[in-house]
Each structure stands twice: as structure tokens, then as C-alpha cells.
Chain A
Amino acid sequence: MNIARFTKTAALAAVGVMALAACSDGGSNDASSDSTSAANIDCASGTLSSEGSSAQGNAMTEWIKQYQLACPDATVNYNPTGSGAGIEQFLADQVDFAGSDSALDTDDGEVADAKERCDGNEAWNLPMVVGPVAVAYNVEGLDNLVLNADVTADIFSGKIKKWNDPAIAALNSGTDLPDEPITVFYRSDESGTTQNFTQYLQAAAPDKWTEEPSKSWTGTGEGKEKSAGVQEATIQNENSITYVEWSYARDGGLGIAQIDNGSGPVELNGDTAGKTLDASKIVGSGNNLEMEIDYATTEPGAYPIVLVTYEIACSKGLAENEAAQVKSFLTYTASDDGQSVLNDLGYAPLPPEVAGKVQAAVADLS
């Protein structure tokens, strides 16, 4: 065996790799330079596991970053594998809390299972992240587009086929609409965004959208996988339209339609999305803050297509250090500091009234 020669070759290769690595500019690595210091965090040390909705993935990553910067002894992990997986892992005792697009389901037995998981105590649904859904379009020269629920439902069910359809023109007087067919892109995978969007269509345009809301798309169009897929397709195809999370629409540079909820066109931003939550009601009891979103709201200035995602946590019944960690982390995420870091990431902060209730509920976790 010629080990000496092999060692030499290996060493040479290793040196080469090092040299290659060393001569880089290393420029783009300023990860923590823009981090705002989160001041008032009551730290708990240890490792916290959580899993669930991918819709709140980026919010969680940002929160975890801020939290860990303030609490170097703590590690928080969030796996954005989907709401269903998150609840499953929470019930199976694999994670300390779950993120979910929908509250625990009584009919599926999730509430009862969660009670067992929490040692006989109730698990609470805590609204934490508000993610507006944008109706995003790509039409050259069309900077402003106003839609209402009826017209949106007709476009996405295929009844309106052209951009200069009289129904669209009526909402956009004075705008030059092209005489081109509308290409609709939808999510081909099962998705909370699809469910949320169809819930809106059914609630706000019951005459036009007759399909039951569901996670798989029942309207017209061409399917693309995941949010990134519909975003990409809409960017590449002129005269196309899709529904996608706000951040994707914004980062893709797509036009975002204003929604006329009956009281005039409303632009999509954090405030307008929050208004819809203000107008919605909490159907859970006590600290269980399950929300029912009023998609058909006619509140002036309320953007109605919003997705609320929850953190699902045991009210009590976790081991002492786990409970302390969950409480410490969720206290930060529900705080004004926590909510305010989300704006740049395509989320809207919880409206003050709801945030107050969530903060009170988190304070009751033990």
C-alpha cells in the first residue's frame, strides 16, 4: 500500500480547497449587521422545537433570529413542513408547539388529542402571523388594477376571458385595458393559500363562486407547483394573473390588484389587512383565540383576503423548562417588537386589539 503518496495527494487537494475558499471576496456575508436588537426579551435557555405551516416560515425564521440574538443560550427550531405535519408532530409529542394555518379541528378529534398531549389541559390556538394573499397580475403598462369579489371570481372561474371585458373596465374607468386573453395560474399542490382564497371568493361572491372552498384548486387555469411556481409563471407570461402570498407578488415585481370590498378600492398593505382582522370575530372561548375571518367585510379600507396562522401551544402540562421556553418565545413573537419586524417580509402585524388578547393569553401559559 502506498499510503505516503496518497496522503500527499490528499493534502494537496485539501490545500487547494482552502486556497480556493480563501481567495473569495466574502462580500455578501453581513448576516447580523442589520439586526435590530430586540430589547425586552425575557430569556429562557435551552432548545425549543416547533414545526408547521410554511406560510409563517419566514416570520418564524426572523423571530428566531431576533430572539436568539437577544438570548444566546436559547436555540429555537422551526420546521416549515406544513400545517398538517406540524399538528401531527405536536400531537405525537415530537415538538413543543405547532404552527398552523387553521385552528385545531374538533371534528377530526384534534382538540381531544391535543388535550391528551397537554396532560389533560387545553391547547390554545394563538393567532400570531397575518399573511395577506395578493391577486397578482402581469400586464404591461397596467399599474393600477381594481377588482371586486364578483369579477375576481369570474376571472378565476373562467367566465371572464379577456382583459378588456366590460366587467373589468367598469371597475377601472379611464384605464387602458389590453384586448388580450387572461391567463390564470393556480397552485397545483394542496395549499392553505388556495383554501383561503376560495373561502374569500365563496364568502364575498356567493353567486359567482359556487365551489366549496378547499385546499386543491377547483377553478380554471394552468397549475404550477408551490408559490414560487405560480410567481415564476406569472412573471414570464404576459397578461397573466394568479393568487399568491404578498411577499411573492412583491418580490416578483408583479402588479397587485386593489380589492373593492364594496366601499371603494383598497390597496394591499399591513394596515388594510389588519383592518379585516379588526372586523373579524374571535370564536374561541377564553384564551383560545380561534378567529373567524369576515371575508365579506364592507369596512372601508379593509383588504379582505388575509390568512391568519396560529401557534398551537399547551396552556399547561409541558415540562417546566419547556413551558418556560414556549412562553418566553411566544411572549416575544406576540409583543409589539416582535410583530413590527414582520413588515418587510410580506406579513402584516396583528391589529392592536387582537395582539392585546394574544399577549394576555401567552401571559397565562404555564
Chain B
Amino acid sequence: MSTSTVRKLDPESPSSLTGVKGRRRFVDRAMRVVVFLAFLLAVIPLFWVLWITISRGIGLVISPEWWTTSMRNVGPNDFGGGAAAAIQGTLIQAAIATAIAVPVGVLAGIYLVEYSDKPLVRPVSFMTDVLTGIPSIVSGLFIYALFITTFGFNRMGFLVALALTLLMVPVVVRGTEEMLRIVPNELREASYALGVPRYRTILKVVLPTAISGIITSVMLAVARIMGETAPLLILVGYTASLNPNPFEGEQAALPLMINVERGNPLPPGQERAWAAALTLILIVMLLNIGARIISRFSGIKK
């Protein structure tokens, strides 16, 4: 954008075509081509992935049975089938993870920003950075070692939710922190000037100002953990049947379903794997759109 403005200020009259200006124009053009090519390079794989997933998965995804039935009693060579069990499991696990991670993450974020004079802030901030860098497989193995090897639990959906919580907390902390930092200090000072204590200032002034951004960052974190596969592979078994109980037995999830159906060499299995991938993309996309809408319509109105 800015380059084109510059060009207009620099009229292309023959008199301005000295050596320097010609070279500048050449560099300008060349850079613009390079930037455009880089953009194309970044976008092509995205659209390619989208196109392949949609073209191979849409056939199943548009049928109502896909959303309402499970894979129970669908043989490996039967076409069709449904993702209800996988969608149910993914949503339940993500919901539990969110329910644990959001209070912890938001409160930690508030602590880091609003109580930045406290001694624990530096270690908490550092640990959040460390947590951010933990690969999902490690968090899965940690939960496995703690709950299954040490405490002797059976594999279940709830353990997946715990592993996802570990991945989600640092994202929420960082998101909350960023959002609280951009709340203007004048608001806090004005509140203090009126004699309002710190906790009320946070609850009534700072949080409402930042809430839309916090919600957005939470939704993005949810979307991110939904596609995690490594903890699922370790911590829960796949089932073709619906299982609404995260505390007992196998529970399906979309990434697991993709993995299992990919292992089925017959055409119906391949079709289901693509459809499950498309379903996961759709759900994540809906969450992202939801985050946009919420952030637009919530928060303080001017």
C-alpha cells in the first residue's frame, strides 16, 4: 500500500529518470514482485489443503447422518458412517480442558499484569514461557506417567482433557496478559483516584475493557487444542460407539478417528478419514468465527 503512495508522489516524468531514480524504481518493482510471490507461496499450500480436504470429504460431511450417527456397526467396507461419537468426544474433552484452563489462565494473567510488583511474577512468567514450549506429546506422556503408571487409573477421556489443559493454560495466560497490558493506565488511575480498591478496579474497570480480547484468545486456544493428536494416542482408546462419559472407557475424538480410518485400506475408510478432517476444520473454523463475533459484540461500547 505505502509503496504505491510513494510512487504517486514521485511522478514518472522523463526529467526524474536519473540513474538513481531508475534504480530505485527497479528495486521497488522487483521487491513488489518478490513480496507478491512470497505471499502466493504462503497461500498456495493453504488453499491446496483446503481444496483437497473439501473435495474428498464433502460427500459425507453434507449428509445429516454424518453429524447424527456414530460409527457403531459400520463395517470397514460399508460406505457412509457418522462422526457423532468423535465430535462428541472432541467437544467434551475440549470443554473440560477449557473449564479448567480458563480460570487458571485468566487469573494468572491478571496476577502477572495487575500485581506486577509481587515477587512471584518473574518465576510465573518464566514458567509460562517454559510451558508454552512443551510439545503436546510430552504433556501427554506426563499425564500418562502420573495418572496411569503412578496412580493406576485406566485410560479415559478426562486424562486427555488434563493434557490439553497443560497445553492451553500458557496460551490463555499470554493472551490475557497481552489484553490487560493494552488497557490504558489512565483508567486504573482514574479508578484509584476515586478511592476504589484494587480488586474492584480489576473486576469493574480493567476486565470489562479487556474482556473481548480475552474471549478471543480463549477461543483461539480452544481451536488449537482441538486438533491435538499426540495426547489422544496415548491417553484414550478409540471407540466407534458414542460414549458421553469422559471418566470411563474409550472415547472417540476427531483426530483419533482420522488416524483409525486412515489405517483402513478400503475406499470407505479413506473417504471417512477425509470427511473427519474436514469436520475438524469446520469446527475449528466455526470457533474462530465465533471468536470474531464475540469480540465484535462484547466489551465496552464507546
Contact = CB atoms under 8 A, between A and B. Distances in A.
Given A24-B62, A32-B73, A69-B73, A61 B250 contact: no
B297 A1 contact: yes
Interface stretch (A3-11, A107-115, A208-216, A270-278): A3-11
B155 to A, nearest CB: 6
A58 B81 contact: no
Interface string B213-242: 000000000000000000001000111110
A231 interface: yes
A36 B7 CA distance: 75
Given A58-B265, A77-B250, A26 B63 contact: yes
A77 B260 contact: no
Given A20-B62, A65-B75, A77-B250, A2 B264 contact: no
B263 A6 contact: no
Nearest to B256: A79
Interface string B103-114: 000000000000
B76 A61 contact: yes
Contacts of A28: 59-60, 63, 79-80
A231 B79 contact: no
Contact of A79 (B72, B74, B81, B237): B237
Interface stretch (B37-45, B46-54, B286-294): B286-294
Interface residues of B, number: 47
Interface in B58-86: 59-60, 62-67, 69, 72-82
A345 B241 contact: no
Contacts of B74: 31-32, 65
B252 to A, nearest CB: 9
Given A2-B301, A49-B249, A251 B267 contact: yes
Given A32-B73, A345-B77, A64 B59 contact: no
Interface string A232-266: 00000000000001011001000000000000000
A80 B262 contact: no
Interface residues of A, number: 56
A24 B65 CA distance: 10
A25 B73 contact: no
A214 to B, nearest CB: 22
A20 B298 CA distance: 28
For the complex of A and B, the 8 pairs showing the least CB-CB separation, nearest first, are A29-B80, A24-B62, A58-B76, A6-B297, A29-B65, A26-B63, A77-B239, A31-B74
Given A1-B299, A24-B63, A64-B240, 9 more contacts: A9-B293, A20-B62, A21-B63, A26-B63, A28-B80, A29-B80, A31-B80, A57-B76, A75-B241
9 contacts: A21-B64, A29-B81, A32-B73, A47-B250, A57-B76, A75-B241, A79-B238, A79-B260, A345-B266
Interface of A: 1-3, 5-6, 9-10, 13, 20-32, 34-35, 47, 49, 51, 54, 57-58, 61-62, 64-66, 68-69, 75, 77, 79-81, 92-95, 226-228, 231, 245, 247-248, 251, 344-346
